[in-house]
């Protein structure tokens, strides 16, 4: 089968690789389209210890099962038997694995085999572009379930990429009172304004940082770091009100130095959000099916054959592209 193989940092190439026979309990999916995620990009750049070449990346997909049904796949595979799984926290499973990570082949390929329990049918009127968002949006559903914001909350979002934008749209569905988005990319801030941010500021300037603090006033109830670099993490704490909640989602840097004494004096609460459970995935899919969350105007599609070009674009000049789709079949 055709597959896009990550062969070395900054390099992917189309190869013909053997098609894996599904084992008992698995179904084979013919992949229609697959999304490029931030974690695939960090793998492509050689920044992920758990994505070592040669391997097939990719975990966001829409495809068809052998019975012809159009389906999406929850790519986070948990054991179903450990204490975490049995308590409903499958994202914390002691042996979780993800398509396109470690030894699990990803979905930048014509076919992928996954446990039957990971597969969800989708209606025909849910477009490929929206269906592929089921996995990224599930992360956002999960973090709001952890954060459980109170009515009329005021929120800050640090980082206006795919995750920040999905968080913005979800916060609006939840009735956020006011929401600030901060980023250093003017095109992304323009997208945030169009999506409904109360204020979108460029924090690469002194003026922008002042505007953000002015908006925050005595601080925001909930602040999300959707970036993962140290400056962004610290910015999330700086925007948070005393007693407010900072949610850390971004994974880009492993270590960060944070001004903890200031945060302790403000009694900041901190939550870290990782991935999603099957319940989050189902809720995400329901939001997309209902058309309540939609980033398709900022989704770009390229054929699997142009994988190198697609990855280069997303790493060097994504502009206002919030999701890149690779068309497989």
User: In terms of CB distance, is 135 or 183 closer to Zn ion?
Assistant: 135
Strand partners, 182: 158, 201
Q: Which residue's CB is nearer to Zn ion, number 110 or number 135?
A: 135
Tell me if 276 sits within 8 A of 142, measured CB to CB.
Answer: yes
Q: How far is the CB of 48 from Zn ion (least distance, A)?
A: 13
How far from 106 is each of 3, 7, 48, 179, 253, CA to CA, in Å?
9, 14, 15, 35, 23
- CA distance linking residue 17 with residue 93, whole number of Å: 30
User: Residue written as tokens 């004494």?
Assistant: 261
In the complex, what is the shortest distance from the CB of residue 251 to Zn ion, in angstroms, rounded to a whole number?
Answer: 11
Q: For the CB of residue 112, give the shortest distance to Zn ion in the complex, in Å.
A: 15
Nearer to Zn ion by Cβ, of 136 and 228: the residue is 136
Residues engaged in binding Zn ion (CB under 5 A): 37, 60, 78-79, 82, 85, 93, 135-136
DSSP code at position 184: S
86/272 with CB nearer Zn ion: 86
Nearest distance from residue 148's CB to Zn ion, in Å? Answer: 23
Maximum C-alpha span of the chain: 60
User: Least distance to Zn ion from the beta carbon of 264, Å?
Assistant: 33
- Element of type H or E holding 110: none
Nearer Cβ to Zn ion, position 85 or 200? 85
CB 322 within 8 A of CB 165: yes
């Amino acid at each position: 089968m055709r597959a896009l193989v990550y062969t070395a940092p900054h390099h992917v190439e189309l190869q013909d690789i053997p098609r894996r026979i599904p084992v008992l309990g698995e179904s084979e999916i013919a992949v229609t389209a697959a999304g490029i995620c931030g974690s695939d990009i960090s793998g492509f750049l050689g920044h992920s210890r758990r994505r070592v070449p040669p391997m097939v990346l990719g975990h966001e997909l829409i495809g068809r099962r052998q019975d012809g049904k159009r389906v999406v796949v929850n790519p986070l595979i948990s054991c179903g038997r450990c204490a975490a799984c049995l308590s409903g926290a499958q994202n914390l499973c002691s042996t979780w694995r993800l398509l396109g990570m470690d030894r699990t082949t990803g979905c930048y390929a014509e076919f992928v085999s996954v446990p039957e329990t990971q597969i969800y049918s989708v209606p025909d009127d849910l477009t490929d572009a929206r269906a592929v968002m089921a996995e990224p949006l599930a992360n956002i559903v999960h973090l709001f379930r952890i954060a459980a914001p109170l009515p009329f909350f005021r929120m800050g979002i640090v980082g206006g990429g795919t995750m920040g934008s999905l968080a913005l749209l979800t916060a609006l569905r939840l009735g956020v009172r006011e929401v600030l988005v901060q980023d250093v990319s003017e095109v992304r801030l323009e997208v945030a304004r169009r999506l409904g941010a109360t204020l979108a500021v460029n924090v690469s300037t002194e003026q922008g940082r002042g505007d953000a603090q002015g908006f925050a006033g005595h601080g925001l109830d909930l602040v999300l770091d959707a970036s993962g670099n140290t400056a962004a993490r610290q910015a999330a704490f700086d925007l948070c009100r005393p007693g407010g909640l900072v949610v850390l989602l971004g994974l880009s840097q492993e270590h960060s130095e944070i001004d903890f004494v200031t945060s302790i004096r403000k009694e900041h609460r901190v939550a870290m959000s990782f991935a999603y459970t099957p319940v989050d995935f189902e809720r995400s899919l329901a939001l997309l099916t209902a058309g309540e969350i939609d980033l398709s105007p900022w989704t770009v599609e390229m054929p699997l054959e142009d994988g190198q070009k697609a990855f280069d674009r997303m790493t060097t000049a994504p502009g206002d592209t919030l999701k890149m789709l690779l068309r497989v079949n």
